Structures are given as C-alpha cells and as structure tokens.
C-alpha cells in the first residue's frame, strides 16, 4: 500500500474519532464505563499522523475535509461508497492501493477493498 | 459542515426511549459478529501492544490493513484505556478498512497491564471493529451489550471455564444472544 494512503486512512479515522467525541458520543462511552478523558493525547496522535503525510497530500485532504467529514471512501465492486457512483472502468480495475487516487465524482480519496 | 455525509449515530441513552433501547439490545446477537477464527483462548502477548497486535490479527483483515487497525486501536487507547476493570478490556475502533462490524475475543491466562481503572491486569479482551459509518447504528449497542455481559461475576467465571472456541460461541449465545 502507498504509505501516504495508509497515513491518510489513519488520519481521517482519528479526525472522525475527534468529531465523534464532540457529538455526545464521549458521554455515551463514559456511561458505558470507558475512560475518554485524555482528548489532548488523541489530538497529539492526529498531529503526529499529519506530520507523516506530505504537504501536497495534506492540502488535498484538508480541502476535501472542508466538504465532507469522511475523506476516505472505500471502493467495493467498482463503486465509490462515498457518493455511491460507479467509477469508470479503468479506475475500477485497480484493486491495489498503490496510488493515491480520488473519486472523479465526489473527490474523496479511494481505498480499494477486496 | 462536516456532518453532511454521516448517518445519525444512536442518541445518548437518556434521549432514547427505554423500549427502543430494550428492543435494540434484545435484537442484537453478539455471536452474529464473532467468527470462530476470531477467537483465541490463549493469547501469548505479555504487553498491551503485543496483545492488541494479536487481537487485530484475529479480525481477518488483509495484511496491509493490519497496521492501520493497530495504529487506530492504539490511538483510541491514548484517549483513555478501554480496560474497564475486573480483568476485562473492550478495545474498540472505527475505520474505513472495516466493511462491517466485526468482533474478536481473546483470553490471556497471565493477564497484561492495560492501564485499567482498577489497575488490575486485563485477561479477557473483546475487540469491536466497525466502519466509520454504520447505517444500522450497532456500534454503541454492541459495546453496551458486551459491558452488560461481563458485568456479572458469574459470567466472567464462565468465560474462564471455557476450553474450546465452539464452547465460547455457545456461551456467548447463552449469555447474550
Ligand atoms: Zn465518490
């Protein structure tokens, strides 16, 4: 896998975790008995991950994230699961995640699933 | 701005009618999400990181996604330990790499230091992995169901006494449907 793509997936998932905490889900987890008190540690993990990504990729990431919370979109059977549109054949035939590709319809980064 | 593409998550319990919570809880069968291959009754790891690596390995995701899963499960731990005490840990994560909700169960005879609330080593591990968007809103109810299951000391004793994977699945069916 392209290492930047791996970092982007992690970065987006951490960003979504941080979004979740702000949406009352921290309280849900606390009620269940989990400790979610060290939000700054998670923010640090996010910043560390940003430090691993290239500037160009981060710029693209931030631009797409301005539009959608979920920046990485899984692809199953040639369909982008961000916008549910079919990718053109050439893109859809790629099955490995060796390149950083964006969905031509919604602009999200593509993560190909088997 | 960033809400547009996320399905609504389950309302916090106080805003959800009790009947709905009950219905969700009775309709969820943990064993539907736990494959036999995702069970390990003899975890070898002697540190938190090693045990979590073993647990992530049980999920059966592609090798290239395992690093991602491990990094995320450790990031979640940085927020606060998922060791809820009494030897139980319920590490959980959401990531694009999971096509659906998956569970894994692991047991360690020695136990490992997990930063749990009661400082006791964790011996029973339930890993809950979910896609970031979970249209059926099962993530929190599944976490709640596991917490409910392990709260009772007699259930924890039963978890200790199981010696086969099939036996573990049967026990989970019996205790939590
Ligand atoms: Zn798309």
Residue B21 is assigned to a structural domain of this protein:
no
What's the gap in Å between the CA of B148 and the closest CA on chain A?
9
Q: What is the pLDDT of residue B8?
A: 40
- Inform me whether the pLDDT recorded for B6 exceeds 50: no
User: With bands split at pLDDT 50, 70 and 90, how would you rate the model's confidence at A107?
Assistant: very high
Residue B13 is assigned to a structural domain of this protein:
no
Across the interface, of B2, B75, B147, the residue whose CB is closest to A32 is B147
Give Cβ neighbours of residue B86 (< 8 Å, ≥ 6 apart). Answer: B118, B120, B150, B153, B156
Give the domain extent around B61.
31-176
Q: Average model confidence (pLDDT) for chain B?
A: 88
User: With bands split at pLDDT 50, 70 and 90, how would you rate the model's confidence at A22?
Assistant: confident
What mean pLDDT do residues A19-29 have? 89
**Residue of chain B nearest A68, judged by CA positions:** B2
B85, B116 contact by CB (below 8 A): yes
pLDDT (tens digit per residue) in B52-110: 999 999 998 988 899 999 999 999 999 999 999 999 999 999 999 999 999 999 999 99
**Kind of pairing, strands A109-112 and B34-40?**
unpaired
- Across A41-45, B7-11, B13-17, B26-30, the highest mean pLDDT is recorded for A41-45
Q: What is the pLDDT of residue B1?
A: 41
Q: Which two tokens stand for residue B101?
A: 């909700």
**Residue of chain B nearest A65, judged by CA positions:** B2
Q: What is the pLDDT of residue A45?
A: 95
* B5 in A contact zone (CB under 8 Å): yes
Q: What is the CATH number of the domain that holds B77?
A: 3.40.930.10
Q: Which two tokens stand for residue B60?
A: 């059966």
Q: What is the CATH number of the domain that holds A97?
A: 1.10.287.1490
Residue B110 is assigned to a structural domain of this protein:
yes
Across the interface, of B71, B94, B147, the residue whose CB is closest to A33 is B147
Residue B8 is assigned to a structural domain of this protein:
no
**What is the reported pTM?**
0.89
Q: Which two tokens stand for residue B63?
A: 């090798």
A-chain residues near B134 (CB < 8 A)? none
- More confident site: B31 or B64: B31
Give the domain extent around A65.
3-112
Residue B85 is assigned to a structural domain of this protein:
yes
Q: What is the pLDDT of residue A87?
A: 93
What's the gap in Å between the CA of B43 and the closest CA on chain A?
23
Q: Average model confidence (pLDDT) for chain A?
A: 92
SS3 assignment for chain A = CCHHHHHHHHHHHHHHHHHHHHHHHHHHHHHHCCCCCCHHHHHHHHHHHHHHCCHHHHHHHHHHHHHCCCCEEEEECCEECCCCCECCHHHHCCCCCCCCCECCCCCCEEEECC
Domains of chain B: total: 1
Residue B112 is assigned to a structural domain of this protein:
yes
Residue B22 is assigned to a structural domain of this protein:
no
Q: Which two tokens stand for residue B134?
A: 């979970």
What mean pLDDT do residues B32-48 have? 97
What mean pLDDT do residues B19-41 have? 85
Residue B6 is assigned to a structural domain of this protein:
no
Across the interface, of B9, B13, B117, the residue whose CB is closest to A35 is B117
pLDDT (tens digit per residue) in A37-84: 999 999 999 999 999 999 999 999 999 999 999 999 999 989 999 999
- Inform me whether the pLDDT recorded for B47 exceeds 70: yes
A-chain residues near B68 (CB < 8 A)? 6, 9-10, 13
Domains of chain A: total: 1
- Cβ pair B78:A41 closer than 8 A: yes
Between the CA of A87 and the centroid of ligand 1 the distance, in Å, is 8
pLDDT (tens digit per residue) in B133-168: 887 889 999 999 999 999 999 999 999 999 999 999
Closest-CA residue to B79 (of A109, A22, A73)? A22
In angstroms, the CA B164 to CA B137 distance is 31
């Amino acid at each position: 896998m392209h290492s930047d793509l791996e970092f982007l997936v992690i970065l987006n998932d951490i960003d979504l975790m941080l979004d979740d905490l702000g949406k009352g889900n921290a309280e849900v987890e606390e009620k269940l008995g989990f400790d979610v008190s060290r939000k700054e540690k998670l923010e640090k993990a996010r910043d560390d991950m940003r430090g691993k990504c290239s500037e160009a990729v981060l710029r693209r990431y931030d631009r797409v994230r301005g539009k959608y919370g979920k920046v990485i979109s899984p692809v199953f059977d040639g369909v982008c699961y961000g916008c549910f549109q079919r990718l053109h054949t050439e893109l859809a035939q790629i099955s490995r995640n060796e390149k950083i590709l964006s969905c031509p319809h919604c602009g999200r980064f593509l993560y190909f699933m088997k | 701005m960033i809400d547009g593409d996320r399905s609504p998550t389950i309302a916090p319990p106080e805003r959800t009618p009790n009947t709905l919570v009950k219905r969700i809880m009775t309709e969820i069968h943990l064993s539907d999400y736990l494959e036999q291959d995702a069970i390990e009754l003899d975890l070898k790891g002697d540190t938190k990181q090693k045990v979590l690596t073993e647990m992530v390995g049980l999920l059966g995701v592609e090798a290239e996604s395992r690093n991602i899963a491990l990094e995320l499960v450790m990031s979640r731990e940085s927020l606060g330990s998922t060791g809820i005490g009494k030897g139980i840990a319920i590490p959980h994560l959401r990531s694009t790499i999971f096509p659906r909700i998956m569970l894994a169960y692991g047991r360690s005879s020695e136990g490992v230091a997990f930063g749990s609330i009661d400082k006791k080593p964790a011996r029973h591990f339930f890993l809950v992995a979910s896609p970031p968007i979970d249209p059926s809103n099962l993530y929190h109810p599944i976490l709640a169901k596991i917490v409910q299951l392990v709260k009772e000391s007699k259930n924890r004793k039963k978890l200790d006494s199981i010696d086969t994977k099939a036996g573990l699945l049967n026990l989970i069916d019996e205790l939590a449907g």
